[in-house]
């Protein structure tokens, strides 16, 4: 009987492994990638005809000509904000050197003094006054209002806590190139005094407010407005740091003693808040509500927990001038305002006069 040879099932796998290993160590070298048929042909360089000649340095870059400064004929001083600054109040210091103009070095023909760039004796011409043309009729106003007053209007500008800023004037004229009117949505501190906002918009742009509802304005450009003859408005390249102004809250309020001032502050902190103001809200009715509250209360507290500290100070300044009143404390995002000694004496005299008349 013949014996059968047993073949292991792993024998073919072992053969392939041994062959691959032998090929790995004894294989032929790979062909040279720079094979003569495909190798780059060196290009001979032309001989230097003048070997002793020195190389000339490259020509210097041409110096760019100095840019002429902007010359604007606008008849008012350039400021960062026209509605949120008072030219009659002089600062007592600066947070940056006044010589650094936000318009850039040498870009404006007016001198920057740290607060404004004064105009050089310019006045409004007759052409600027004739831009408005004849007044709009009621039908024309109604058509413009219906076209631009809606929230989905593409010709809208948001006016924030900076108020009527200088660069905002350029944005308005850019919208006026393609639209007769522009929609302006006002938010934040400027909404405390909307009359002031409307005045500066009309005065600085030459337009006219044709629609006003709460914080929404429509600014009309005029019948004879020509975009090609729009005024030159040089842009501010950065926001200048706010100057330092005198202290808003005194240690002792005018007309009363220190103990009385301290008592008023404690009374205001412990009293319920008249209003709770929000960040970038609409403060149109704040002044009227404070005036009504002063008829029955001597001290009023406003809750500004969600308002920035700088905005709280601006709100206090505006209320002081509009109500009028006396801010006596800013603490923990709370504004404590006092109606003042003069208003208290005036109320007492009015009460005495009414009592005598009733007799």
Q: Convert the pLDDT of each residue in 170-226 to its tens digit.
A: 999 999 999 999 999 999 999 999 999 999 999 999 999 999 999 999 999 999 999
- Contacting residues for 218 by C-beta, under 8 A, at least 6 apart: 144, 145, 148, 149, 181, 182, 183, 184, 209, 210, 211, 212
pTM summary value = 0.75
354 pLDDT higher than 80: no
Instruction: Report the half-sphere exposure of 223 (CA within 13 A, side-chain side).
Output: 9
**Mean of the pLDDT values across residues 223-237?**
91
Look at 85 and 123; give whichever has higher pLDDT: 85
61 pLDDT higher than 50: no
- My answer on whether omega of the bond before 30 falls inside 30° of 0, hence cis, is no
pLDDT band at 62 (very low <50, low <70, confident <90, very high): very low
> With pLDDT > 70 as the criterion, what percentage of the chain qualifies?
75
- Spell out the domains of the chain, with CATH numbers in brackets: 78-229 (3.30.110.60), 258-346 (3.30.110.60)
Tell which phi-psi region holds residue 121, choosing left (phi > 0), alpha (psi between -120 and 50) or beta.
left
Most confident among 16-25, 39-48, 62-71 (mean pLDDT): 39-48
Tell me the β-bridge partners of 70: 108
Q: Which two tokens stand for residue 265?
A: 């502050």
- Residue 333 backbone phi and psi in degrees, to 5: 60, 30
Give the residue from 211, 161, 204 showing the smallest Cα distance to 182: 211
Q: What is the pLDDT of residue 67?
A: 66
**Mean of the pLDDT values across residues 20-24?**
51
pLDDT in tens, 106-134: 888 889 999 999 887 666 666 666 888 88
Q: What is the pLDDT of residue 36?
A: 54
Look at 336 and 53; give whichever has higher pLDDT: 336
Q: Count the neighbouring beta carbons within 10 Å of the beta carbon of residue 336.
A: 23
Look at 168 and 31; give whichever has higher pLDDT: 168
């Amino acid at each position: 009987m013949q014996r059968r040879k047993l073949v292991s099932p792993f024998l073919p796998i072992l053969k392939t492994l041994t062959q691959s290993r032998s090929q790995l160590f004894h294989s032929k070298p790979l062909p040279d990638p720079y094979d003569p048929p495909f190798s780059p042909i060196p290009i001979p360089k032309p001989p230097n005809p003048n070997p002793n000649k020195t190389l000339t340095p490259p020509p210097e870059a041409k110096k760019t000509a100095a840019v002429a400064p902007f010359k604007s004929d606008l008849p008012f001083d350039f400021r960062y904000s026209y509605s949120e600054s008072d030219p009659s109040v002089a600062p007592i210091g600066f947070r940056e050197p006044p010589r650094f103009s936000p318009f850039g070095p040498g870009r404006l023909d007016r001198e920057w003094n740290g607060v404004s760039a004064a105009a050089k004796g310019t006045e409004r011409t007759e052409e600027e006054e004739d831009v408005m043309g004849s007044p709009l009729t009621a039908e024309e106003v109604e058509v413009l209002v219906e076209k631009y007053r809606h929230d989905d209007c593409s010709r809208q500008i948001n006016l924030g806590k900076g108020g009527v800023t200088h660069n905002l004037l350029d944005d308005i004229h850019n919208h006026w190139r393609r639209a007769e009117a522009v929609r302006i949505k006002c938010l934040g501190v400027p909404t405390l005094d909307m009359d002031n906002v409307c005045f500066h918009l009309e005065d600085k742009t030459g337009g006219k407010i044709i629609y006003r509802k709460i914080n929404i304005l429509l600014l009309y450009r005029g019948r004879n407005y020509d975009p090609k003859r729009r005024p030159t408005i040089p842009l501010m390249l950065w926001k200048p740091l706010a100057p330092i102004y005198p202290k808003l809250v005194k240690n002792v309020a005018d007309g009363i003693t220190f103990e009385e001032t301290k008592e008023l502050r404690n009374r205001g902190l412990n009293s319920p808040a008249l209003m709770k103001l929000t960040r970038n809200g609409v403060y149109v009715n704040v002044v009227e509500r404070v005036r009504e509250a002063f008829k029955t209360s001597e001290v009023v507290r406003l809750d500004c927990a969600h308002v920035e500290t700088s905005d709280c100070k601006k709100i206090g300044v505006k209320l002081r001038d509009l109500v009028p009143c006396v801010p006596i404390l800013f603490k923990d995002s709370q504004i404590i305002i006092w109606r003042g000694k003069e208003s208290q004496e005036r109320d007492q005299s009015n009460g005495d006069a009414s009592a005598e008349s009733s007799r």
